[in-house]
Amino acid sequence: MPVTLLHPPAMNPNDDTDDALAGLIHRSRRLEDAPEAAIQHALALFQRAPVSAKAAAAGWRELVARLVSDTFDMSPQALGLRGGKAETRQLLFAVEGRDIDVRLSRGDGGWELWGQILGPDEAGEAELHCGEWQASTPWTPLAEFRFRDVPTGECRLTLRTGAWISTLPAFRIPA
């Protein structure tokens, strides 16, 4: 079936007239930027290579996680919140039929990360990397986990059970 074009064919970007190039630039507004979270996930593919190798060696299935929402992207007004003493941030990820709820809160002792896997999995482990710092902890029977005194900077959370492993898109904890 022929493609119906509403726009004329592309001008040659090597056209040596300024007007032609200007027209092409103007038309490039039609390109859309990918969401930054998706870009970060793609960039993380390179850093995740060791995890993938580890997963393959262990016979785990590697699941792709997607960031669904991040309250850090919303203004307090949008969230209907008033300014308070505690800073909190909620991130929600989706991993093949599971929702991963991650909450960051800053208290007197620094940042704390709490998370919960909402899905069919009963037991597993969470591993958090923030720069050189790393820690791991098993999930509770409610599939919850918690890390205290988390340093600032870019962090990456990996979840694994006996059957699968998933590294969530990186997120940044502000200073």
Partner 1 sequence: MDDCLSPEAPDADALLLADPLTGLAGPVPSDAELVARCRAGEAAAWSLLVRRYQRLVFTVPRRAGLDSDDAADVFQHTLARLYEHLDRLDDPTRVRAWLVTTARHETLRFLRARARTPRIAEVFESEGEDETEGDAVERVPDPARPHDEVLGELQDLARVRAAIDLLDPRSRQLIELLFLQDDPLPYDEIARRMNMPEGSIGPTRARCLAKIRQCLTKL
Handedness of CA 42, 93, 37, 28 (dihedral sign): positive
* Measured distance CA(50)–CA(153) in Å, rounded: 21
Axis-axis angle for helices 49-58, 36-47 (nearest 10): 60
- Looking at beta carbons, which pairs linking 9-17 to residues 24 or more positions away fall under 8 Å? none
| Both structure tokens of 1 | 């079936």
Is residue 92 involved in binding partner 1 (CB under 8 A)?
no
Nearer to partner 1, 39 or 123 (CB): 39
Amino acid type, 93: F
Is residue 77 involved in binding partner 1 (CB under 8 A)?
no
Is residue 7 involved in binding partner 1 (CB under 8 A)?
yes
Task: Give the residue, chosen from 53, 56, 58, 64, that forms a contact with partner 1 under the rule CB under 8 A.
Answer: 64
Closest approach of partner 1 to the CB of residue 84, in Å: 30
Give the footprint of partner 1 on residues 96-125 (CB under 8 A): none
* Measured distance CA(100)–CA(92) in Å, rounded: 6
Q: Find all residues with CB under 8 Å of 68, minimum gap 6, and list them.
A: 92, 93, 94, 99
Nearer to partner 1, 43 or 79 (CB): 43
Nearer to partner 1, 55 or 113 (CB): 55
Nearer to partner 1, 44 or 135 (CB): 44
Interface residues toward partner 1, by CB under 8 A: 1, 3-7, 9-14, 16, 18, 21-22, 24-35, 37-39, 41-43, 45-47, 64, 66, 68
